[in-house]
Structure 1
C-alpha cells in the first residue's frame, strides 16, 4: 500500500520558513524530508480569495 495514495498539504509558509515556525531546525528538516519525498510543489501567487471572502463576510 506504500505510495498508493495522494495527499495534498497546503501551507502559507515556505519550506525554508518551517524551522523558525516549529522552533526546531532538526524536526523541521526531518518533517520536510518525509513530506517532500517524491512530491510536486505548486507555488500559487496572487490575491487570496479566502481573505477577499472573509472581508465580505465581516462587512455584513
Structure 2
C-alpha cells in the first residue's frame, strides 16, 4: 500500500491544485486515523 502525507500528493500527481481537490472530495466527512507500528497483515512475512 502506498501511503503519503497529504502534503506530498501534489508531487505525486504533478499538480498541487488537483491533489488538493481530490483529497478534499475523498476526505470530506471522513475521519483520518494515523496508525504507527508494525503492520498486522505483514506479521507472517517477518517469520519467513
TM-score, with structure 2 as normaliser = 0.70
Q: CA RMSD for the aligned pairs? A: 2.5
Runs of 4+ in 1 over 2 A off after TM superposition: 47-52
1:24 alignment partner in structure 2: 15
Is 2:37 the partner of 1:53?
Answer: no
Alignment of 1:1-40 (within 5 A): 11-40=2-31
Which consecutive residues of structure 2, in runs of 5 or more, have no partner in the other structure?
Answer: none
Count of equivalent residues:
47
Structure with more relative contact order (C-alpha pairs < 8 Å, separation 6 or more): 2
Structure number with larger C-alpha Rg: 1
Which consecutive residues of structure 1, in runs of 5 or more, have no partner in the other structure?
Answer: 1-9
